[in-house]
Amino acid sequence: IENKMPESHWLNECMERGAKLVDIAPEYNGPSSKSDYWIGVRPGLSDLAVLLSVTKIMLDNDWYKPDFCRQFTDFPLLVRTDSLERLRPQDVQADYQLRDISAGPSYKIQGLTDEQRQKIGDFCVWDSDDNRVAFLSRDDVGEHMKINAALSGTFHVKLTEGKQVEVMPVLEMYRQHLKDYDEQTVSEMSGAPAELIQRLARDIWETTQAGHPVSIHTGEGINHYFHATLHNRASYLPVMLTGN
């Protein structure tokens, strides 16, 4: 709020509606004084580490909504561990043709072009019911996502060239990546108290379970920084997991 003052109305409205407020900042600032608790961190990317630790805690405790993750996020999409690139249907089926989605929302509502369609392509998930790779288009979201896609585990897929490769869902990659982000380690990295990192993870989950929304607000400028995509993604993870 100190560097994007018009946003103060969100703070005021949250307070009026009885929201629980948490402030993550290096200094004990104005919003900190109005929050339920303040998580003090070192300047830099310490808040990123805190949010990654929150994500790890939520995954370790199964504090997430699997159906939402399957239907509305990229968490079930398969990635090759040999190249760290997404597995594509053409990798598995040589004569694969892109699904025709010209009459769907991507074209009719979002204005997707044929050139963009070719560039984006289709995607792969692991069908837990049939125990095999299944193909998706970008329109297979929400109620149109009919596959019980795996969110964890590693699998082996035979490529068109005859080679076998290991693949895993994006969420499984996060599980492995976040092993280094336990709250004690992150506390040492960031200066944030470990018990407050744990408290934030629990508050996000319990608030969601009680049927209330959760949001994360950042000051103007965060998205302009070097490595901003990493910072933004870390901010998205807890709210993606909980359907917020």
In this predicted structure, what is the pLDDT of residue 7?
79
pLDDT at 44: 80
Hey, what are 24's tokens? 């993550």
Q: How many CB atoms lie within 10 A of CB 148?
A: 17
Which regions of the chain does DSSP assign to beta strands (E)? 22-25, 37-40, 78-80, 123-127, 132-136, 155-158, 164-169
Assess contact for 46 and 52: CB atoms under 8 A: no
Spatial contact of 152 and 78, defined as CB atoms under 8 Å apart: no
The whole-number pLDDT of residue 220 equals: 65
DSSP 8-class letter at 143: G
Instruction: For the chain, 244 residues long, give each residue's pLDDT as a single digit of tens.
Output: 666 778 788 889 999 999 999 999 999 988 899 999 999 999 887 889 999 999 999 999 999 999 999 999 999 999 999 999 999 999 999 999 999 999 999 999 999 999 999 999 999 999 999 999 999 999 999 999 999 999 999 999 999 999 999 999 999 999 999 999 999 999 999 999 999 999 999 999 999 999 999 999 876 666 677 777 888 889 999 999 999 9
The rounded distance, in Å, linking the Cα atoms of 195 and 79 is: 34
Tens of pLDDT, residue by residue over 196-241, are 999 999 999 999 999 999 999 876 666 677 777 888 889 999 999 9
Instruction: Determine the pLDDT at residue 196.
Output: 98
Which run of H or E residues covers position 233? helix 228-241
C-alpha–C-alpha distance, residues 120 and 143, integer Å: 21
Q: Determine the pLDDT at residue 222.
A: 62
pTM, to two decimals: 0.92
- Dihedral pair phi/psi, residue 215, rounded to 5°: -140, 155
Rounded to 5°, the CA angle 117-157-123 comes to: 15
Based on C-alpha coordinates, what's the Rg of the chain? Answer: 20
The pLDDT of residue 119 is 95
Residue-level pLDDT at 221: 63
